[in-house]
A and B are shown apart, each in its own frame.
Chain A
Amino acid sequence: MSGSGKGILKGLGITLKHFIETYTVDRKEGKNRYFTEEGILSRRTPDTKGVFTVQYPEEKAPLPEAFRYIPFLVYDVGEDGNRDIRCTSCGICAKVCPPQCIWITRRTDEETGKPMKEPSQFMIDVDICMNCGLCAEYCPFEAIRMDHDYEIANVDRMKHHIFDLEKLLKPASYYKAIRPVQVEREEAEKREKEAKKEAARAAAAAAKAKKDAENNS
């Protein structure tokens, strides 16, 4: 029968259940629910009961891997410990950026004056950035990626929020730590590409050998 208000009662019942469970679970588990490693982990599961507050500065809500905030630049650590910046300053990210918040200057060789494949300046105005992730999506060198760090509020926009190369550069190990699944996928794609290339090369070599054999006979 419609109009009997059953639906409302059912909905309110769910709210009431949450309300009661908030107390019963808190009484049962006590303070272990907050501030302890197990408590935070148990609250991450989908079958958590009751409502709770994330006690923000002490504990932080878990971030999904695909969470994106401000972009950062990935660098590999070379064998002799120096930074090997992946960015080649091709400028694709600056072109696709919808709010146009990326500025890149290409480095030129001091002796020959020829442009080099690395940036001398890379700036992102994080107060313009809209966290869309298009730069990371389009980057062909896996050089620019979206960060998880959201604690960057500050008092002066011009002094603190125009991120330069030093502020943007983060090691590849950090990238792997925050986005393990994505790194795994990218590496698998790279391996597949390599394998395809290798197969094509082998096939070409075989065809050539066959042709040579036919010509000789």
Chain B
Amino acid sequence: MAMDEINKAGVTIPPELQGQIAITTLDKIYNWSRSNSLWPMMFGLACCAIEMIITAASRYDFSRFGMEVMRPSPRQADIMIVSGTVTKKMVPQIVRLYNQMSEPRYVLAMGACASGGGPFKEGYNVVSGIDKFIPVDIYIPGCPPTPQALLHGLIIMQKKIERQKLSDADWYKKDVDNEIPVPILGPDLIDPRKYALIKEQTHKPAFQVVEEVQNGDE
């Protein structure tokens, strides 16, 4: 059956040779093998992670699609399932993990929070969607998406991979650097390099700050 799927190179095979040879394009066989061995990265962020765990467990079991090994290391993972609320404190780590994943790499935004911020879209400590920082391939709505919805998203992901072409794949080109700078967000994210300055500011006695402000006004 798998043969029928990949054996569509647009060349007619003579009847006497049918079932004995297979003609395919490199793209098809390459994408077929790639899309059926997607290894997700094992990290959960919030409640969506629980649904992700159920999807990996025996009742829904995404190893049926070749995703059985959740890798704890980004170097060995193909797909990053951003499962849950992305806080501003977590974004630098996620971008760093994304940078550490080897090409070809894919990102799946699972649930409302990862896709668009969800109920926290205007929150002071939550980013409104991970797609503002790293390229996202598939968005799954839901809060949280049920295991079947996640499986549907992963199947869409496989279909997307099957449509890719080796000739225009980014990761085989020269001089293409997909490294994303690790973000340091706004004043409400604490920048470790400025601990001294923050400490100096916050440890001042209140009256001194008031005096400084008043002096500044003059």
Q: A53-B60, A54-B60 are in contact. Are A150 and B131 (CB under 8 A)?
A: no
For B60, the chain A residues whose CB sits under 8 A away are 53-54, 56
Does A73 have its Cβ within 8 Å of any Cβ on chain B? no
With A57-B151, A131-B142 as given contacts, are A154 and B156 in contact (CB-CB < 8 Å)? yes
Query: Which of B118, B119, B136, B146 touches A150 (beta carbons < 8 Å)?
Result: B146
Take A54-B59, A150-B145 as given contacts and tell me if A127 and B156 are in contact as well, using a CB distance cutoff of 8 Å: no
For the residues of A in contact with B, the DSSP-based class is loop
Q: Is the CB of A153 within 8 A of B118?
A: no
* A69–B129 CA distance with the chains assembled, in angstroms: 20
A153 interface neighbour in B59, B119, B140, Cβ under 8 Å? B140
CB distance from A59 to the nearest CB of B (A): 10
Chain B residues within an 8 Å CB radius of A54: 59-60, 148
Given contact pairs A53-B64, A127-B139, A98 touches B115 in the complex (Cβ within 8 A): no
The answer, yes or no, to whether A199 is at the interface (CB within 8 Å) is no
Does B116 interact with chain A (Cβ within 8 Å)?
yes
* A61 & B61 in contact (Cβ 8 Å cutoff): no
The total of Cβ contacts below 8 Å across the A-B interface reads: 96
Q: Does A155 contact B (CB under 8 A)?
A: yes
The residues of A that contact B137 with a CB separation of less than 8 Å are 155
B112 close to chain A: CB less than 8 A: yes
Residues on B with beta carbons closer than 8 Å to the beta carbon of A125? 116
B143 CB–A CB distance under 8 Å? yes
The residues of A that contact B64 with a CB separation of less than 8 Å are 53, 55-56
Asked whether any CB of chain B lies closer than 8 Å to the CB of A20, the reply is: no
A157 and B151 contact, CB distance less than 8 A: no
Which residue of A has the minimal Cβ distance to B141?
A126
B141 to chain A, nearest CB (A): 4
Contact partner of A51 among B58, B121, B149, CB < 8 A?
A: B58
Q: Which residues of A contact B (CB under 8 A)?
A: 51-57, 60-61, 69-70, 98-100, 125-132, 150-157, 160-161
Give the 4 A-B CB pairs with smallest separation, nearest first.
A153-B153, A127-B115, A127-B116, A130-B143
